[in-house]
């Protein structure tokens, strides 16, 4: 009789939902603190740390559910799965946030970007900055796809490192 093996996809989905929910809570905290337009290194680091923690937790819990065994391949599948699910939830939240909760969020972000561009490079003309913003608006979904890819790569790297540390293959017999 064959044992019920835990499914990598189940752990990726469940921990991806937890990572996404935690990221949303963090974003709401930033909003309530009026820091939702800030993109400092610390804020970015916390967002990546949230993802890393849930990737590691998913791998460790999969190993525990699998009788203490996990292959490197199984671990490397979990991380990107967690990242994709978390990112999709983040995009859904962002669409709700930017269209319902704070409808002028994007315009404020573009205005802040315009001001930062003028401060960082006073040689730019207003027309050049406006043209750059229009390009960003046109390629919003391409930019989101790139961010998703970066998130998946990060999840893969975290799962590779974690998998190398905790892997334990089942005996062949």
Number of domains making up the chain: 1
Q: Is the pTM of this model over 0.75?
A: yes
Residue 160 resides in a domain: yes
The verdict on residue 49 lying in a domain is yes
111: its two tokens: 């205005």
Six-digit token string for 6? 């835990």
pLDDT tens figures, 83-92: 999 999 999 9
Q: Where is average pLDDT lowest: 23-27, 45-49, 53-57, 134-138?
A: 134-138
What integer pLDDT is reported at residue 1 of this predicted model? 40
Predicted confidence (pLDDT) per residue in 21-45, tens digit: 999 999 999 999 999 888 889 999 9
In the chain, % helix, strand, coil (3-state, to 5) comes to: 80, 0, 20
End-to-end CA distance of the chain: 16
Residue 77 belongs to a domain = yes
Cβ atoms of 73 and 160 within 8 Å: the answer is no
Backbone φ and ψ for 37, nearest 5 degrees, come out as: -95, -10
Q: With respect to residue 153, please indicate whether it lies within any of the assigned structural domains.
A: yes
118 in any annotated domain: no
Can you give the residue range of the structural domain that contains 41? 8-102+145-166
pLDDT at 95 over 70: yes
Coil vs helix vs strand at 6 = coil
Spatial distance between the Cα atoms of 154 and 150, rounded to a whole number of angstroms: 6
130 lies in a domain?
no
- Top-confidence residue, 54 or 104: 54
């Amino acid at each position: 009789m064959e044992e019920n093996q835990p499914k990598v996809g189940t752990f990726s989905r469940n921990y991806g939902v937890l990572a996404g929910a935690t990221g949303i809570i963090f974003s709401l905290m930033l909003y309530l603190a009026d820091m939702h337009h800030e993109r400092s290194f610390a804020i970015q680091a916390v967002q990546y740390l949230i993802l890393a923690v849930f990737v590691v937790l998913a791998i460790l819990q999969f190993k525990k559910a699998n009788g203490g065994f996990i292959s490197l391949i199984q671990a490397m599948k979990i991380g990107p799965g967690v990242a994709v699910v978390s990112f999709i939830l983040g995009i859904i939240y962002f669409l709700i946030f930017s269209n319902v909760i704070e409808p002028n969020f994007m315009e404020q972000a573009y205005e802040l970007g315009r001001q930062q561009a003028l401060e960082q490079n006073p040689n730019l003309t207003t027309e050049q900055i406006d043209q750059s913003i229009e390009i960003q608006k046109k390629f919003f979904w391409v930019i989101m796809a790139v961010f998703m890819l970066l998130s998946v790569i990060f999840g893969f790297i975290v799962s590779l490192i974690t998998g190398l540390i905790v892997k334990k293959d089942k005996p062949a017999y």
